[in-house]
Amino acid sequence: MDVAFIGLGSMGMPMARNLLRAGHTLTVWNRSPRNLESLVHEGLKVAASPAEAVVKGGIVVTMLSDDAAVLEVTEGRAGFSQALGPGLHISMSTVSPGINRGLAQSHEALGGFLVGAPVFGRPDAAASARLNIAYSGGESARAKALPILQALGQRTQSFGDDPGAANVVKLCGNFLIFSATQALAESLSVAEANGLGRRETMDFFATTNFACPVYEAYGSRLADEDYSTGGFKLSLAAKDLRLFAAQRSADGMQLKALLEDRFEVALGKGWGDLDVTALAGLLKT
Amino acid sequence: MDVAFIGLGSMGMPMARNLLRAGHTLTVWNRSPRNLESLVHEGLKVAASPAEAVVKGGIVVTMLSDDAAVLEVTEGRAGFSQALGPGLHISMSTVSPGINRGLAQSHEALGGFLVGAPVFGRPDAAASARLNIAYSGGESARAKALPILQALGQRTQSFGDDPGAANVVKLCGNFLIFSATQALAESLSVAEANGLGRRETMDFFATTNFACPVYEAYGSRLADEDYSTGGFKLSLAAKDLRLFAAQRSADGMQLKALLEDRFEVALGKGWGDLDVTALAGLLKT
- Considering only CB atoms, which chain A residues are within 8 Å of B213? 208-211
Please name the helix (run of DSSP H) or strand (run of DSSP E) that holds residue A140, with its range, or none: helix A139-152
Name the fold adopted by B168-284. N-(1-d-carboxylethyl)-l-norvaline Dehydrogenase; domain 2 (1.10.1040)
Whether the CB-CB separation of A28 and A60 falls below 8 Å is answered with no
Positions of A annotated as catalytic residues are 170
Relative to beta strand A153-158, strand B2-6 is: unpaired
% of chain B at pLDDT higher than 90: 91
- Considering only CB atoms, which chain A residues are within 8 Å of B282? 252
pLDDT digits (tens, 9 = 90+) for B78-96: 999 999 999 999 999 999 9
pLDDT of residue B40: 78
The phi and psi torsions of B198 (rounded to 5 degrees) equal -60, -45
pTM as predicted: 0.94
pLDDT of residue B230: 66
| Cβ contact B209–A249 (<8 Å) | no
Whether the CB-CB separation of A192 and B168 falls below 8 Å is answered with no
Q: What is the mean pLDDT of residues A221-237?
A: 90
In angstroms, the first-to-last Cα distance of chain B is 53
pLDDT of residue B280: 97
Q: What are the strands, taking DSSP E only, across B50-180?
A: 59-62, 88-91, 113-116, 119-120, 131-135, 153-158
Whether the CB-CB separation of B149 and B133 falls below 8 Å is answered with yes
In A150-189, which positions are buried (b, 16+ CB within 10 angstroms) versus exposed (e)? ebbbebbbbbbebbbbbbbbbbbbbbbbbbbbbbbbbbbb
Distance in angstroms (rounded) separating the CA atoms of residues A9 and A31: 10
**Strand, helix or coil at A148?**
helix
The minimal CB distance from B176 to the residues A134, A171, A184 is found for A184
Using CA atoms of B192, A235, A119, A205 in order, give the dihedral in degrees to the nearest 10. -80
pLDDT of residue A263 exceeding 60, the answer is yes
pLDDT of residue B38: 73
* Residues 34-53 (A) with a CB less than 8 A from some CB of B: none
Look up the CATH architecture of domain A2-160: 3-Layer(aba) Sandwich (3.40)
pLDDT of residue A258 exceeding 80, the answer is yes
In angstroms, the first-to-last Cα distance of chain A is 53
**Domain B2-161 class, CATH top level:** alpha beta
| Cβ contact B254–A262 (<8 Å) | yes
The residue ranges of every structural domain in chain B are 2-161, 168-284
Low-confidence spans in chain B with pLDDT less than 50: none
Q: CB contact, 8 Å: A162 with chain B?
A: yes
Question: pLDDT tier at A96 (50, 70, 90 boundaries)?
Answer: very high
Residues near A211 by beta carbon (within 8 Å), at least 6 away in sequence:
B212, B213
Angle, CA of A129, A132 and A137, to the nearest 5°? 115
The C-alpha of B205 sits at a distance from chain A's nearest C-alpha, in angstroms, of 7
The minimal CB distance from A209 to the residues B173, B248, B261 is found for B173
The minimal CB distance from A186 to the residues B175, B282, B283 is found for B175
pLDDT digits (tens, 9 = 90+) for A102-134: 999 999 999 999 999 999 998 899 999 999 999
Closest CA to A281 of A254, B241, A267: A267
If one compares A176 and B285, the residue with the highest pLDDT of the two is A176
**Strand, helix or coil at A46?**
strand
| Cβ contact A195–B162 (<8 Å) | yes
- ipTM of the shown complex: 0.94
pLDDT digits (tens, 9 = 90+) for B141-195: 999 999 999 999 999 999 999 999 999 999 999 999 999 999 999 999 999 999 9
Q: CB contact, 8 Å: A172 with chain B?
A: yes
Average pLDDT of the residues of chain B: 95
pLDDT of residue A230: 66
Positions of B annotated as catalytic residues are 170
